[in-house]
Amino acid sequence: MADEPVDARLSRINTLWSLVNQANQAGSDRDAQGRLLERYGGAVYRYLLGAVRDTSVADELFQEFALRFLQGKFHAVAPDKGRFRDYVKAVLFNLVSLHHKQKNRLPFQAESQVLASAADTPEDQADLDFNHSWRDELLARTWEALAELQKQTGSLYFTMLDYRTRHPQSDSAEMAVQLSRDLNKPLTAAGVRQTIHRARDKFADLLLEEVSRSLQTESVDDVEQEVIDLGLHSYCADAIKRRREAK
pLDDT band at 87 (very low <50, low <70, confident <90, very high): confident
pLDDT tens digits, 131-187: 999 999 999 999 999 999 999 999 999 999 999 999 999 999 999 999 999 999 999
Q: Which residues contact 242 (CB under 8 A, 6 or more apart)?
A: 205
State pLDDT tens for residues 88-142: 888 888 888 888 887 765 444 444 443 333 344 456 788 888 999 999 999 999 9
Give the up-direction half-sphere exposure of residue 220: CA atoms within 13 A in the CB hemisphere. 13
Domain boundaries, the chain: 6-121, 125-246
* CB-CB contact of 77 with 27 (8 Å): no
Whole-prediction pTM: 0.76
Residue 9, pLDDT > 90, answer no
Q: Which residue stretches of 120-188 are H helix?
A: 123-153, 157-166, 172-183
Task: Give the residue from 192, 96, 236 showing the smallest Cα distance to 183.
Answer: 192
Neighbouring residues of 88: CB distance < 8 A, sequence distance ≥ 6: 37, 40, 43, 44
Instruction: Provide the CA 234 distance to its chain's centre, in angstroms.
Output: 17
Q: pLDDT digit string (tens) for 58-82?
A: 888 988 887 776 555 655 554 455 6
